[in-house]
Amino acid sequence: MDHIMNMLESYASTLEDEVAERTKELIEEKKKSDILLYRMLPRQVADRLKLGQSVEPEAYECVTVFFSDVVSFTTIASKGTPLQVVNLLNNLYTIFDSIIDEHDVYKVETIGDAYLCVSGLPNRNGQEHVKEISSMSLAFMKSLLGFRIPHLPNEILNLRIGFHTGSVVAGVVGLSMPRYCLFGDTVNTASRMESNGKQVCNEVDCENFYVYPIK
């Protein structure tokens, strides 16, 4: 009988250790999934979706929407392998993402070489969004001064930037792969300003870059 009891106690102890280990692994995996979700959606939106709550579209009266793309990206991409192009964009966006972390700006999405972000939502910040986007834009341009394409070291990378201030509606679109999207003329205008604008030169003169207050 004592032998059986010892076996049962040993089994129970082993089972407890196994449960504890699996619980720890589950918690770690949940943390990873939360990190991924928070990269796809604003934290407050993601938290509501995790609770099974609906997220209604929300109107924002005044935000600043930013677009950028790499000038002559198609030509640059044609000079490298797909893997080299992916590495190029990854290196560039890693720099941009670190700059965004220093500003009150939310990155909405990247599509190829196109980069879309906004300030003033989901957290309203009064009129600070203009300054935040302007400061971020300057930082983006400055970051290119020392940026080099590994497989094209003599190639100069230039950005085309456009941003516009106005009202937008923001909301979650999709169920299986939800996306936080912006809608409105402000988005369209910012996109047109970027696509119709000239490339931004690599030499940035901060003293000649003015931000006009919103009245």
Please report, in angstroms and rounded to a whole number, the separation of the first and last CA atoms in the chain: 87
Q: Are residues 105 and 203 in the same domain?
A: yes
Cα within 13 Å of Cα(196), Cβ side: 7
Q: Are residues 130 and 160 in the same domain?
A: yes
Q: Are residues 62 and 36 in the same domain?
A: no
Q: Are residues 120 and 180 in the same domain?
A: yes
The C-alpha atoms of residue 5 and residue 189 are separated, in whole angstroms, by 76
Question: Does 123 reside within a domain?
Answer: yes
The C-alpha atoms of residue 65 and residue 115 are separated, in whole angstroms, by 11
What domain count does the chain have?
Answer: 2
Predicted confidence (pLDDT) at residue 208 exceeds the cutoff of 50: no
Q: Which two tokens stand for residue 215?
A: 């009245």
Predicted confidence (pLDDT) at residue 200 exceeds the cutoff of 60: no
Spatial CA neighbour of 118 closest among 58, 73, 72, 75: 58
Question: Does 133 reside within a domain?
Answer: yes
pLDDT of residue 8: 67
Q: Are residues 86 and 130 in the same domain?
A: yes
Write out pLDDT tens, residues 30-65: 777 777 777 778 888 888 877 777 788 999 999 999
Spatial CA neighbour of 152 closest among 87, 65, 56: 87
Place of tokens 């677009």: 67
DSSP symbol at 206 = G
Q: Are residues 66 and 159 in the same domain?
A: yes
Spatial CA neighbour of 143 closest among 155, 157, 130, 132: 157
Print the domain residue range for 15. Answer: 2-40
Cβ atoms 188, 62 nearer than 8 A: no
- Least reliable range by pLDDT among 37-51, 127-141, 177-191: 37-51
Cα within 13 Å of Cα(54), Cβ side: 3
**Mean pLDDT score, 87-97:** 94
Question: Does 66 reside within a domain?
Answer: yes
Burial of residue 114, with CB atoms counted within 10 A of its CB: 0-12 exposed, 13-18 middle, 19 or more buried: middle
Q: Are residues 6 and 97 in the same domain?
A: no
Q: Are residues 167 and 76 in the same domain?
A: yes
The C-alpha atoms of residue 210 and residue 21 are separated, in whole angstroms, by 57
pLDDT of residue 213: 43
Q: Are residues 72 and 12 in the same domain?
A: no
Question: Does 51 reside within a domain?
Answer: no
Q: Are residues 137 and 189 in the same domain?
A: yes
- Confidence band of 1 (pLDDT split at 50, 70, 90): low
CATH number at residue 101: 3.30.70.1230
By three-state DSSP, how is residue 32 classified? helix
Q: In terms of pTM, does the model score above 0.95? A: no
Question: Does 69 reside within a domain?
Answer: yes
Question: Does 47 reside within a domain?
Answer: no
Question: Does 213 reside within a domain?
Answer: no
Q: Is 135 left (phi over 0), alpha (psi -120 to 50) or beta?
A: alpha
Give the residue with greater pLDDT, 54 vs 73: 73
Question: Does 46 reside within a domain?
Answer: no
pLDDT of residue 43: 84
Q: Are residues 70 and 140 in the same domain?
A: yes
Q: Are residues 30 and 108 in the same domain?
A: no
Spatial CA neighbour of 49 closest among 139, 179, 207, 136: 179
The C-alpha atoms of residue 178 and residue 155 are separated, in whole angstroms, by 37
- Total Cβ atoms within 10 A of residue 85: 19
